[in-house]
Amino acid sequence: MIKKNLRPVTEIAFVILLALPLVLYAWIGFYSRYVADDFWTAGYLRVLGFWEAQRYWYLSWSGRYSFTFLVSLVELLGVGATRWLPVSSLVLWAGALYWLWDGIFRLAGLPYSRWIRLSASLLVIYTTLRTLVGWQQAFLWQTGLMTYTVPLIGFTFWSAWFLACLSQPEVDTPKWHTLLWTTLLFWFLGGFSETSLAFQTALLGLALLFFAFLSRETPHRRSSLLLLAAGLAGSLTALLCVLIAPGNSVRLGQNVGIHLPQMTELISQTFHSTQHYFKNIFTLSIRTVLCILGMPALFAIGFHPRLKRKPTRRDLILPTWFLLLFLLVILAVYWVCFLPAFVAMRAGPPQRSIVVMFFWLSLTLAIESYVFGVTITRLAQWISPLFQRTDLLRLIRIGAVLAMIALLVIGPLQSAQKLWQIWPVYRQFATEWDNRDRLARQAAANGIRDIVLPQLNDLYDLGPEAGEQFARYYGLLGTISFESHGP
C-alpha cells in the first residue's frame, strides 16, 4: 500500500497537472473581446434599451429569452466584462462539478478526499474543452459561452443540490417554494438554447421514469418525483415559450426556410451526425479520450475499497448491468441533443453547441470508466484469492498511480504546452481589437461619417452585415468598410 503520507502529495499532483491547461484556458480568456453576433446584441441594447431589446429579439429573431436577457445584463457592464466571463465560468463550473462529485461519492459510500473530488471535476472540464474542435466558440466567444456553457453550469449546480438532498438521512417532502423555484429555474435554463433545452428535458424525463419504477418504500422516492416533475414542468413550459416565439419564423425564413423533415430523414441525419462527432473524438483527441476512459478505471483498480470476502456472482452482475444500461442512457441523451438542429435548420448543430454533448459524454464516461475498473477488480478477486494479498495490492496501487501520471503527461501536460505556444496569438488579437475599438469611438465622438476600420486576422471577427453592426454599436454614421492587413 502507498504510504499514507504520500497519498495527499500524489492527489495534489493530480490536481496541479489537470489544472495547468485550464489555467491557460482562463488566461487566454482574458483576451476575449466582442466578435460577430456580440456586436448585434450589444448594438441593439445601445439603441433600444434593455427591455425593448428583449422584446425585439423575441419577436424578430429567436425564442431564446434567457440568453438575450443574460447577455444584455452582461453587456450593460461594457466590453470589459467579456474578459472575465471565461475564468468566471471555469470557476463556477469546477465548483458545480465538485459539489456534484461530492454527492455521487456520498451516495456510493466512497471515502475519497477533497483532492480527488477536485481532480474528477477538473478532468471532466479538461476533457470537454479539449475534445471540442471549436472550443473558442463555446468558451471565448461571449455569445457561444452564454448560449450553451452557462446553462450547463446551472444544470450541474441543480443536479449537485438534488444529489445532496438524496444523501440526507431525513426524508422531507419539498416545500411549495422549493418546487416553485425548481420550476422557474428550469424554465430559465430552458430559454438559453434549443440544444440545452433538449438535454435537460431528456435527463429530467429519464430520471423521473427511474424513480417512478422504484419501490414505494425507497427513501426520498416521493420527494425526488416531486422535484423532477417540477423541473420537467418548467422545462416543458420553456419549450412552449421557445416554440411560440414569433422570431423563430423570421429567423428560419431568412436562413433555410421553414420545413419540418420527415421522421425517417430526421433519424437518419441525427444518427449520422452523432456518429460523425463521436468518431471525431477518437480520431482528433485520442490522448484526451485515453485520460477520461483510463484514469477513473485505473483509480478504481488501485483505490476502490476491496470486498473483505470473495465476490459473489451478484457482486459481478450488478456493475455489469449498470455498465450496459447506463451506456444506453448515455447514447440516448447524446442523440437527443442533436435533434433540435435538424428539426429547426435541417443541418448539423453548430460547433459551439457541441459543448453540451461533449460535457455529457465526459461526465458519464468517467462514471462508466470507474465502474468498469470496479468490475475488473471484483472479477480478479473472484478468479483468484491472490488479489486479496497486501503485497500484491501495494504493487497494483503503485502501478495504477504510475499509469495515471503517464496519462496526465501525454494529456493535460502536453495540452498545456500547446496552449502556452498559442496564447500570444490571442494577445495580439486583443491588442488589435482595442486599437480598432479606439478608432471607432474616436470617429463616433468626432462625427466622422465615412471610416475604414481594420479587419482582424481572426475567423470569428466579423459576422454578416458587419458595417451595420458596427454602426449601431458605436453610433457611427455614414459608410463603414473594413480592410485586412494580414494573410
Segment 18-32 shows an average pLDDT of 94
Name the band, by pLDDT with cuts 50, 70 and 90, for residue 277.
confident
Q: What share of the chain is helix, strand, coil (3-state, %, to 5)?
A: 75, 0, 20
- In this predicted structure, what is the pLDDT of residue 4? 46
Least confident of 85-99, 270-284, 314-328: 270-284
- In this predicted structure, what is the pLDDT of residue 235? 96
Amino acid (1-letter code) at residue 387: F
In a domain, 50, yes or no: yes
96, 153 contact by CB (below 8 A) = yes
Residue that the C-alpha cell 441525419 belongs to:
269
Taking 90 as the threshold, does the pLDDT of residue 467 lie above it?
Answer: no
Contacts by 48-52 with C-beta closer than 8 Å and gap 24+?
Answer: 50/76
- Nearest residue to 461 via CA among 452, 469, 449: 469
- In this predicted structure, what is the pLDDT of residue 260? 56
- Three-state SS for 31? coil
Segment 418-424 shows an average pLDDT of 92
Q: By CB neighbour count within 10 A (0-12 exposed, 13-18 middle, 19+ buried), where does 426 fall?
A: buried
Segment 189-211 shows an average pLDDT of 94
Give the tens place of pLDDT for each residue, 287-316: 888 999 999 999 999 888 887 788 888 888
- In this predicted structure, what is the pLDDT of residue 304? 87
In a domain, 468, yes or no: yes
Domain total in the chain: 1
Name the band, by pLDDT with cuts 50, 70 and 90, for residue 263.
low
- In this predicted structure, what is the pLDDT of residue 133? 82
Measured CA distances, 33 to 189, 276, 432, 475 (Å): 25, 31, 11, 18
Amino acid (1-letter code) at residue 68: T
- Nearest residue to 30 via CA among 439, 470, 424: 424
Give the tens place of pLDDT for each residue, 205-241: 999 999 999 888 888 889 999 999 999 999 999 999 9
Give the tens place of pLDDT for each residue, 349-370: 788 888 999 999 999 999 999 9
Least confident of 8-17, 165-174, 257-266, 460-469: 257-266
In a domain, 369, yes or no: yes
- pTM of the predicted model as reported, rounded to 2 decimal places: 0.91
In a domain, 2, yes or no: no
Percent of the chain with pLDDT over 90: 49
- In this predicted structure, what is the pLDDT of residue 184? 97
Q: Where are the alpha helices (DSSP H) in 78-149?
A: 85-108, 114-131, 135-139, 142-144
Measured CA distances, 129 to 23, 25, 428, 466 (Å): 12, 9, 22, 29
Residue that the C-alpha cell 500484491 belongs to:
392
Q: How far apart are CA 370 and CA 463, in angstroms?
A: 44
Taking 50 as the threshold, does the pLDDT of residue 282 lie above it?
Answer: yes
- In this predicted structure, what is the pLDDT of residue 258? 47
In a domain, 38, yes or no: yes
234, 184 contact by CB (below 8 A) = yes
51, 69 contact by CB (below 8 A) = no
- In this predicted structure, what is the pLDDT of residue 443? 85
Taking 70 as the threshold, does the pLDDT of residue 128 lie above it?
Answer: yes
Provide the phi-psi class of 355: left if phi over 0, else alpha when psi is between -120 and 50, else beta. alpha
The residue segments making up the domain with residue 437 are 7-484
Name the band, by pLDDT with cuts 50, 70 and 90, for residue 459.
low
- In this predicted structure, what is the pLDDT of residue 356? 93
Give the tens place of pLDDT for each residue, 392-412: 778 888 888 899 999 999 999
Percent of the chain with pLDDT over 70: 90
Query: Other CB atoms closer than 10 Å to residue 394's CB: what's the count?
Result: 14
In a domain, 1, yes or no: no
Taking 90 as the threshold, does the pLDDT of residue 475 lie above it?
Answer: no
Amino acid (1-letter code) at residue 11: E
Average pLDDT, the chain: 86
- Nearest residue to 107 via CA among 27, 218, 28, 18: 218
Give the tens place of pLDDT for each residue, 136-173: 888 988 999 999 999 999 999 999 999 999 888 776 78
